[in-house]
Amino acid sequence: DNNLALDLAAHSIRIEAPIPGKRAVGIEVPNVKPAVVRLSSILQSKDWQDITSPLGFCIGKDISGAPVARALDKMPHLLVAGQTGSGKSVMINTILTSLLYRNSPSDLKLILVDPKQVELKPYDDIPHLLTPVITEPEKCISALKWTVAEMERRYTALSEARVRNIVEYNNQKKEEGMPYIVIVIDELADLMMMAARDVEALIVRIAQKARAVGIHLILATQRPSVDVITGLIKANVPARIAFTVASQVDSRTIIDQIGAEKLLGEGDMLLLTADMPKPRRVQGAFISDEETNKVTDFIRKQREPQYDDEVVSQPVQLNGRGGIVADYGANDADDDMYKDAVQVVVEGRKASTSLLQRRLRVGYARAARLIETMEEQGVIGPADGSRPRDVLVNSVDEVFNRAAPSAAESDEVLDDSLDSEFPDDEQA
């Protein structure tokens, strides 16, 4: 390699032997003046327009100049790794901008984790967020625990609807469809340092099961070591992007082969997905900070965010042992929000998740749990395809009066129990 680079007067070369599908060996020589690939050029390409998935995102152009775009739901999770200055953060911005380009806040929800506190700052307060941008490890682990519980709740909903995935569910229940959830963790190493066992277990569980219910992970790190990108995480995240790394060992850690150590930086990457026999070299699309701010400023003007406080309020222990995922919805019938939800449903004579989201200004997950609780309490009927649920009560008082026994009834029950426990002398 070094001799060829010397003869070609090149900074570095990369040999691909053989080229997939050809009886030839490829030698990649970098251009003296690399061209900038604009995100706008990918968004206007046929390759991007041919992707019908709502989770399609732009990547860049390959060495022949062909646009490269992929769908996150086909991957179904993505690992991005590379040293500082290699283009990792720009890639995250490109992915997020692509997702925002195609999805409204009702179709896509984001959980963004940014330990550096500056990389994902432009996305603060956009209406797609389930919670403000997370900067603390404790809140991130809480969000992962909430995601596991939401995943299980969604599987229960799919089972009851007798469908296999989120696409079929949303086609059947247009009024109460589930939004996709994408979790972006911009620095995985920080979390692994705080609670490696808990974080690994939660990520693996989500990666194994969450695809069918529309939950996807994007993990990024600038420290691609085996204690950060563990074997279990790699086994469950088949799609990977490797930017420039310091050594062959780091390259093997990310994509299981050498090559990333010879990349040029500034967006030069190797893309590897489950359907590719070998990594594909791509120059990442570039979007400036100014362009990102213009996009997010425009989106903020459309709607205010509706945060779900439960996402970051789960119990967390940062000692490697962790806690048990909370049983969500157990006390929904006792809180004030439930009473407000019942009032909205009774007054409007219709019940749907989207109605509660609009009227109560809550997130999708909370609204869905309130609907489930009302069904369990007999306030509304079961779901019937895309038709609105029937409201089975006529007033709010009817719901809460029957929920709790009167004082007289309570005294009567207490007297009966005392009589049975302490019988009269004659009965004795």
The residue ranges of every structural domain in the chain are 1-33, 34-312, 332-421
Per residue of the chain (428 residues), give pLDDT as tens.
677 777 776 777 777 777 777 888 888 777 777 788 999 999 999 999 999 999 999 999 998 899 999 999 999 999 999 998 898 999 999 999 999 999 999 999 999 999 888 889 999 999 999 999 999 888 999 999 999 999 999 999 999 889 999 999 999 887 778 999 999 999 898 888 877 888 888 999 999 999 999 999 999 999 888 888 988 899 999 999 999 999 999 999 999 988 898 888 889 999 999 888 889 999 999 999 999 999 999 999 998 998 988 888 877 655 544 443 333 344 455 566 888 888 888 888 888 888 888 888 777 778 888 888 888 888 888 877 667 788 888 888 877 776 544 444 444 544 554 454 445 544 43
User: What is the DSSP code string of 15-73?
Assistant: EESSPTTSSS-EEE---SSPPP-BHHHHHTSHHHHH---TTEEEEEEETTS-EEEEEGG
Structure tokens at 89: 């953060």
Peptide bond before 18: cis, by omega within 30 degrees of 0? yes
Alpha-carbon radius of gyration of the chain? 26
Say whether domain 34-312 belongs to CATH 3.40.366.10.
no
Which conformational region is residue 77 in: left (phi greater than 0), alpha (psi within -120 to 50 degrees), or beta? Answer: beta
CATH number of 332-421: 1.10.10.10
> pTM of the prediction?
0.74
Residues forming a β-bridge with 198: none
